[in-house]
Every structure is written in structure tokens, then in C-alpha cells.
Amino acid sequence: MSLGARSQGEVILDVRNISLSFGGVKALTDISFDIRNQEIRSIIGPNGAGKSSMLNCINGVYTPQQGSITFRGQTFAHMNPRRVAEMGVARTFQNLALFRGMNVIENLMAGRNLKMRSNLFQQALNIGFARREEVEHRRFVEGIIDFLEIQPYRKMAVGKLPYGLQKRVDLGRALAMEPQVLLLDEPMAGMNVEEKQDMCRFILDVNDQFGTTIVLIEHDMGVVMDISDRVVVLDYGKKIGDGTPDEVRENPDVIRAYLGTSN
């Protein structure tokens, strides 16, 4: 895969001058960056830099006080989660946000909710259409289960799964939405090396096979520098760097932020 080519892809998500604060506390200050089609775009920065808040703004979970987000030419002052999802943006969560009361299949099926059409009465009576629809989406979900290699855990309550697998299910739920843009919030946090390798493989495969644009928040610099096309660096809610991994690596502000001002 040639980095250059993808970075040239047209901009599908453009974040402009986003500022967000809770009460007095400023979480994000005037952040701007863009995301190109099919690239892997990483957001890095120390804890509390505002990375997750950034994703929450894109998802419409938080409403920024200023700024706009442009998705495929449409510009929004603030998003609402439903609309974002309909536009094909999926998301995994930093500290797991799985539906603990459900098993793996149900979690993934939940990811299909936007695609399911049968109404309450059809489901209540479980008549033809509702039933067919259920089966057809189950087939799709089984595809994802195979892709993520979690067949043995289908019927297990997600709460009972080991952490690494839960992360996979989280990814699976996002994939079930057939997203164009996939926001990954520290998908490898707390994983051992093998698990990380698996996760990397999945991310890259998703990016290759389905041409899904990936926005990645990750602490593991090795991973980030390996797989990202471009990287945004946040610190204390401000953008201090943006560019290819090499550019970022050279950026003095970034170095200061990570290594402290000592050198």
C-alpha cells in the first residue's frame, strides 16, 4: 500500500475551529484538521489532551461551543448521534462501552439496527418479513464474527469475555454498521503484544478490504507510526502538530509535549 496515494484522496471529514468546554474547563480550543477518504488518520497526545472529546464532538455526543464539522460537503455546527451514524460513521470506545447484558451476536446485531426495517407489530408477531430480515442480518453478522475470529464466543455474554476479545466485539459492533469512517478510541489499550498484532491486522484489513477510512486514537507510538498515513497531535486541548508520521516525529512542540521541556 502506498502512503502517498491515499493521502491524496479527497477530504470526506473536515473539522474546523472546534472549541469545547465544560463549565469553565476548556477541553478543546480551536481545533482544525481534515480526514481524507480511505486514509488511516491518527490522533495522539498525552492523557487529557482532549482526544476522546474530539471524537465525541464528531459523534455528536458533545456539542462544541464553536466550530463546524463538514462531512462529504455537508457542514454542521453540531451533529446529532443518529445523523452521524446514518452518514456512515462508526465508533469504538476507549473504556469498553459494550452492551454487557447481551451476548456477542446480539451486540453485533444491535450494530445493524439502522439497516433493519421491520416495525413493532411485524416483530411482535414475528411474521414473515421480520423473521426473514432477522435471518439475513444474522448472516451478515456471522460474516463479521468469522472475520474477527470469535466464532466460539457467539452466545457468550460479552461481560464474561476477556478484555482483548471484548475490544474485538466492540470493533465488530462498529463494523456491523458497514461504516465509511471508523473512529477507533484506543483499540489496543491494555493489550499484550499478540493481541495488539491481531488488532492491527484487523484494522489494516478493514482499511484495505472495505476501503474504510480510519480515525485512530492510540498511545502506542510504534503502532501509530507504523500504520498511520497522517497524525494529529493534541496537547491540553490544542493542536500542536499535524502531518505524516515522519513530520510529526520531527516536530519540536510534539517532542516537548511528550518528553517534557527538559531537552
What letter represents residue 256's amino acid? R
Interface residue with another protein among 1, 8, 10, 100 (CB under 8 A) is 100
Cβ contact 19:28 at 8 Å:
yes
* 123 binding another protein? (CB under 8 A): yes
* φ and ψ of 129, to 5 deg: -60, -50
CA 18 to chain centroid: 19
Closest CB to another protein among residues 53, 230: 53
Cβ contact 138:105 at 8 Å:
yes
Minimum separation from the CB atom of position 173 to another protein (A): 7
Minimum separation from the CB atom of position 248 to another protein (A): 26
Interface residue with another protein among 8, 97, 250, 258 (CB under 8 A) is 97
Closest CB to another protein among residues 2, 117: 117
For 56, the enclosing helix (H) or strand (E) is helix 51-59
* 113 binding another protein? (CB under 8 A): yes
Closest CB to another protein among residues 17, 80: 80
Residues in the chain: 263
Measured distance CA(258)–CA(46) in Å, rounded: 7
Minimum separation from the CB atom of position 22 to another protein (A): 7
Interface residue with another protein among 135, 252, 262, 263 (CB under 8 A) is 135
**What are the grid coordinates assigned to 15, written together?**
473539522
What letter represents residue 18's amino acid? I
Which residues are within 8 A (CB) of 261 and not within 5 positions of it... i.e. 6 or more apart?
Answer: none
Minimum separation from the CB atom of position 234 to another protein (A): 17
Measured distance CA(146)–CA(140) in Å, rounded: 10
- Coil/strand/helix, residue 127: coil
| Interface pattern 13-42 for another protein (x via CB under 8 A) | ---------x--------------------
Minimum separation from the CB atom of position 63 to another protein (A): 12
| Interface pattern 76-95 for another protein (x via CB under 8 A) | -----xx-xxx---xx-xxx
Cβ contact 241:253 at 8 Å:
yes
First to last CA, the chain: 36
Closest CB to another protein among residues 182, 248: 182
Q: Dihedral (C-alpha) 236, 190, 105, 54: value to the nearest 10 degrees?
A: 10
| Interface pattern 35-74 for another protein (x via CB under 8 A) | -----------------x---x--x-x-------------
Closest CB to another protein among residues 129, 258: 129
- Coil/strand/helix, residue 209: helix
Q: Contact residues for another protein (CB under 8 A)?
A: 22, 52, 56, 59, 61, 81-82, 84-86, 90-91, 93-95, 97-102, 106, 109-114, 116, 118, 120, 123-126, 130-131, 134-135, 138-139, 142, 173-174, 177, 185
